[in-house]
Amino acid sequence: MLNLLKKFLPDEHVKSVFEIDADLLLKRGIKGIITDLDNTLVEWDRPDATPELIKWFQHLEEKGIIVTIVSNNNQQRVGAFAEPLNVPFIYHAKKPMTRAFKQALTDMKLQPTEIVVIGDQIFTDVLGGNRLGLHTILVVPVASTDGFITKFNRRMERVLLGKMKKKGLIHWEEEK
C-alpha cells in the first residue's frame, strides 16, 4: 500500500507557481518546466494569462528555463492561452498517461533530471510525472470551482491525501 501511495505523492507542495524560485531550480540543474494549465496557472474558466503570470513566464525565459504547457483540455482552449505567450503546448494530453510528458521531454531536448512537473491534481499531473520519475510540484488550485470530472477527482484526492497524512507522508496543511 505504501508503494502505491508514493506514486501519488508530489516531491513538493506550494500555494502557487509564484512560490517556485527559478534560481533554486537552476541550482538543482532544472532547465525546463512542464506545467498544467487549468487551475494551475489560471482559473479553468479564465481565457488569458494574468499580468502577474505573464511576468512569471518572462522571468523564467530570462533565466533560461523553458516551459511547455501540457493540458488535458482541447486545442482551442490551450492554444488560445499559450500562443499569445509564445509558450509551446500539448493538448488532449490524457494525463496521467505518459505520452504527452515524453513528447514534452523530446520537444524540450531535456533529460528527465532537468525537468519539473507543476500541476494542481494528484491523479493527473503528479501521477503522470511520477510515472516517468520526474520531479513533481503540486500547487493549490487557483480556483475553488471545477468542471464535473475534476470535482470527482478532488473528492478522491482528499481521501488519498488523508491516507498519506495518516502515514506521515505529507507535512503540509490542507487548503480549505
User: What is the structure's pLDDT at 2?
Assistant: 61
pLDDT grade for 71, boundaries at 50, 70 and 90: very high
Q: What is the mean pLDDT of the chain?
A: 90
Task: Give residue-wise pLDDT tens across range 22-55.
Answer: 999 999 999 999 999 999 999 988 999 999 999 9
The parent domain of residue 32 ranges over: 1-41+143-176
Confirm if 40 and 60 have CB atoms less than 8 A apart: no
Residue 86 within any structural domain of the chain: no
Which helix or strand (DSSP H or E) is residue 14 part of? strand 12-14
Let me know if residue 73 belongs to a domain: no
What is the number of structural domains in the chain? Answer: 1
Is 17 among the domain residues?
A: yes
Residue 92 lies in a domain: no
The answer as to whether 127 is a domain residue is no
Euclidean distance between CA atoms 39 and 138, whole angstroms: 11
Is 163 a member of any domain? Answer: yes
* Residue 103, pLDDT above cutoff 50: yes
Over residues 3-29, the pLDDT tens digits come to 777 889 999 999 999 999 999 999 999
pLDDT tens digit string along 121-174? Answer: 999 999 999 999 999 999 998 876 666 666 667 777 877 777 777 878 777 655
Question: Are β-strands 135-139 and 12-14 bridged in parallel, bridged antiparallel, or unpaired?
Answer: parallel
Q: To the nearest whole percent, how much of the chain has pLDDT over 70?
A: 90
Please give the Cα distance from 153 to 24 (Å, whole number): 31
